[in-house]
Each structure stands twice: as C-alpha cells, then as structure tokens.
A = this chain, B = another copy of it.
Amino acid sequence: MDQYINPLNSRYSSKEMLYIFSPKFKYTTWRKLWYNLALTQQELGIDISKEQLNKLFKHIENIDLNLVEKYEKKFKHEVMAHLYAYADLIGDDARKILHLGVTSAYLMDNTDLIQIKEALLLIKNNLTKLIKTLKEFSIKHKDLATLAYTHLQEAQLTTLGKRSSLWLQSLIFDFEELEFILSNMCFRGVKGTVGSQSSFSELFSSNFKKVKDLDINLAKKMGFDKVYKITSQTYDRKFDSSILNFLSNLSQSAHKITNDIRFMQHLKEIEEHFEEEQIGSSAMPYKRNPIYSERVASLAKFIMSLQASGGFIAATQWLERTLDDSACKRLNTPQAFLAADAILILLNKIFNNIRVNEKIIETHVKIEMPFILTEDILMKATKNGGDRQILHEKIRIYSMQVRESLYSGITANNLIKLILDDASFRLTPKDIEEVLNPNANIGFAPCQVEDFIKEMVNPILKET
C-alpha cells in the first residue's frame, strides 16, 4: 500500500513469467549451479564424494531467506550470504567442495542466461498459440472481401484473411528470429574472474581438454547445447541487447496489428469481445472501446523504448567488465519479458474472442465499389462502343454528386443507377454486375493466404 506497485506484477503478466524472474527461481538455480558444478567436477576426476554431492542435492529447494538476510547484513554481498546459508545446511564436509574454482559471476551470469532461456521458451509457447489462432482466423476469412486502405484512404479490395495473414507474417518473422536466437544460445560456463579460467589451471593440472569438458558437460546439465568458447568476466552484453531487439521486434508487430484492429473497430467492422457486466466508459455506455488492443500498443511502446538500454550497455562495457550493466539489466530484461508476455496473452485473448461484423464489411465494400471500379466500368463502356473522353468526364461529375449525397446521409450510393440511366454508357445491369462483383476484384488474395499458410505457417506449427 505504501510502495510503488509495478503493474506488470499486479495486473498484466502471467504467473509463469513472474516466477521465472523471481528470487525463488534465481536462488534455487544458484544451488543447482553449485550442485552440478560439483557433480561435473567429480565426473572429471576431482576428489568429491557421493555423500558430499547428496548433501548439496538434498538442499536445493529449502532456502531460508531469514538466514540469508542475516548473512547479507554481515557481508553486504549477495552471493556470499547465499553461500553461507547453503553451507549451514550441507554441513562442513560438503562445504569444502562448494564453489570450487568459481566466482560470483559463475552464478550471476549463468542464471541470467537460464532465466532468459526459460522466458524465451514461454514466449515461444504463447507465440505459437497466437500463430495457430491467427492461422485459423486467416483461413476462415480468406475470401471475405474488404476495403483495403492505403494512406488510410479506401484503395482497392483485399480480403480480411489476407490482411490478417500479413499480421501473421510479421509474427512468423519474429518466430524465425526467436528460433535463431535459441539455436545460437550459449551457456557462460566456468570462466573465472577475467575469463582466463586460471583457477582451473591448478585444479585440472593445466589440462585444457578437461576444462572444456567441464564447461560443456555442465552446460548440458543446465539445459544448454553450447557454451561460449570465450568470455571476459561475463558473456558479451551484445547477447542481452539482441534479446531486447527481439522483444522490440515482437512489440512492433503487436503495435502494428493492434493499430489495425483499432481502425477496424473504429469502422465497426470488427469488435473486441466486451463482457456483459463490464463498465466501459461510465459516462458513455454506448461505446465499445478496443481497450485490450490499446493496452497492447501501450506495452509495446514501453518495450520498444527499453531496447535502447540494451545497446547502450553493450556499447559502454569497458575492458574485461564494468558494473554499469547490473542495475539496468535487473530492470530492463525482466520487464521487457513481462510486458511481452502480457502482450501475447492479450493478443491471444483478443483473437480468441473477436467479433467480425461481416455485414458491415460488406456494406462498406458496396458503398465504395462504384468509386473504386470506375476505371473498370469505363473500360467496359468503351468496349461497348462508348466515347472514353466524354464518359470519363461524366463519371467524374456523377461521382462527385454521389459522394456529396452520401455525406448528407440521405441515400445509398446510386452512382450505378446514374450510369445505367445514362444511355451514352451503353451498359446493361448484367455488365455492371460483372464488374462490381467483389469476388472478381480481390485478385489472388485467397490463393495467397493458402499458399502462405502452407509454405510458411504450417511448417512452424508442424501441421499440414
């Protein structure tokens, strides 16, 4: 009540993502790192007993925060405090082989990478769901003719499923980037205070092969296929920067998609789900505000803004490491993930409940079709023997009349009637019908959707 409450915690993000960046996740990961270090060292011939290992393993989960706090007050050093608290549990014998050859950065940096990996996998999971939902949406509406807008002006026709395929394509690009990151991701491993692994020189009698084995075997135990071949005290902060790039890219997609939804809801063509009991605007109950889309756009702006901090940190790390990364990293990375998590939850929610007002879409198409297709009408009339020049001017004048009358709200679009009634056009209702058929004017939009989904989306979803 007396402190700032971060809305990502209290309002927007999932328990799963909040857990990944929690103290519990972090500190149990530290103990797993200690345990697996000892285990791997033992496997590589260091004198560590099964009993010692068992003691480490047994106490991974039971973290006594009060005890930790007591030690932290004493040492003013987070890792030391946790080391002592763990040591109290595992006893003097196991304590001897704890933290062998490593420094704080072994725990800090590896845990950062583990958290990021878990967070990426959670993002991947929700992104996959969203891709699946948008695939269904696109297939369902692949033939639904709708006005396409360029410059926010009615242009020609597209289909709703084609438009949503473009949203889907943006997310596919993000998905591909995510897979690229995951497949390149490395564990930091054991590297020492300045990256030279000198503390392991004595431990393994200058046997570099063994140190490399320690690094990669440990990485595998912690869920990584690869380990950085070299680091300074820390892994290259460019990695963190690339993570923020990815989350920003995903946010750009989300911002663009929800902007489009907000326009379409403005046109009443689609509507976010509105719960019965929900109070929208208390003063204006007739309104249907696309508040989830707006929230997505808002969180996207936040993430996009954080992107700069990743680059700034990477660019200003000095020599083997400076600590001007730490406080910022504790703020930008978890929050970018939490906000991205919220965005994906919201987008899934929006598309699972969205209402498409087909009739309204159809009406809008009908009103504009005559304007959009004046060129086609003219071609038809000329083919039937009309004078192009004269008819062109007539169409211009008729169009303006109709536009004005439409704006005055008193009539439907009667441009076609004016043209049919004018004998100089030499057009029959059937001629017009052929031209005005929306399905004849959506081009290859439906085929494109099918093709795109088959070639680009299904492989990702492992569907056919």
Contacts and interface: CB of A to CB of B under 8 A. Distances in A.
Interface string A350-361: 000000010110
Given A286-B374, A320-B148, A363-B409, A236 B22 contact: no
Interface in A348-379: 357, 359-360, 363, 366-367, 371-372, 374-375
A16 B9 CA distance: 21
Given A236-B173, A359-B408, A412-B409, A198 B156 contact: yes
Contact of A331 (B1, B198, B309, B335): B335
A205 interface: no
B299 A327 contact: yes
A151 B323 contact: yes
Interface in A237-276: 238-239, 241-242, 245, 248-249, 251-253, 255-256, 259-260, 262-263, 265-266, 268, 275
Contacts of A314: 252-253, 256
A278 B286 CA distance: 42
A248 B212 CA distance: 32
Interface in A414-454: 441-445, 447-449, 451-452
Interface stretch (A32-40, A72-80, A85-93, A123-131): A72-80
Contacts of A15: 2
Given A163-B319, A283-B193, A76 B259 contact: no
Interface string A133-165: 000000000000000111111111111001101
A243 B109 CA distance: 28
Contacts of A308: 304-305, 307-308
A165 B448 contact: no
Contacts of A448: 195-197, 229-230
A294 interface: yes
B3 A9 contact: yes
A182 interface: no
A60 B308 CA distance: 42
A397 interface: no
Interface string A324-350: 111111111011001100000000000
**Is chain A's interface secondary structure helix, strand, loop, or mixed overall?**
helix
A65 interface: yes
Given A230-B169, A256-B314, A193 B5 contact: no
Contacts of A404: 359
Nearest to A25: B2
A311 B305 CA distance: 10
Contact of A320 (B149, B194, B322, B375): B149
A417 B314 CA distance: 42
A462 interface: no
A316 B12 contact: no
A390 interface: no
A111 to B, nearest CB: 14
Contacts of A13: 4
A277 B74 CA distance: 8
B295 A327 contact: yes
Contacts of A21: 3-4
A249 B238 contact: yes
A116 interface: no
Contact of A263 (B152, B295, B330): B152
A19 B4 CA distance: 7
A314 B295 CA distance: 15
Interface string A210-239: 011000000000000000011111001011
A84 B238 CA distance: 46
B229 A151 contact: no
Contact of A443 (B198, B238, B302): B198
A149 B322 CA distance: 8
